[in-house]
Amino acid sequence: MKKLVFEGTEEQFKNLKELVNQTIILPLPKINENYQTDNLWSVEDVMQSYICTEEEAMEVLEQALTNEATMSQIWLAIHFHAQENELEKKKYKL
């Protein structure tokens, strides 16, 4: 599955959402609003500090954002802020 990042005004996104949600014959991706994307990293973030191609920068991003330490830190932050917001942790049956 391919992922794309869109940039635009609030009105442009409203128009895009209306277009995507229309019943049309062509299969189009649906907009999923269940993701926090305000702080996405881009190849530009890598390229502002390193001399590299876009492909090399993307490889660095993929490695940095999928390594065990990064993912562990994100889970730690999610649990911390959930507790700060007094959310009740689910109890799982084994």
**Residue 37 has what pLDDT?**
67
**Residue 40 has what pLDDT?**
81
**Residue 13 has what pLDDT?**
82
The rounded mean pLDDT for the chain is 85
**Residue 28 has what pLDDT?**
63
Is residue 13 within 8 Å of 6, Cβ to Cβ?
A: yes
Mean pLDDT, residues 47-72 taken together:
94
Whole-structure pTM value: 0.57
Tokens of 10: 């609030």
How far apart (Å, rounded) are the C-alpha atoms in residues 82 and 3? Answer: 28
Condensed to tens digits (0 to 9), the pLDDT of residues 27-36 reads 666 777 777 7
Domain regions of the chain by residue span: 10-31+39-84
How far apart (Å, rounded) are the C-alpha atoms in residues 8 and 5? Answer: 10
Residue type, 76: L
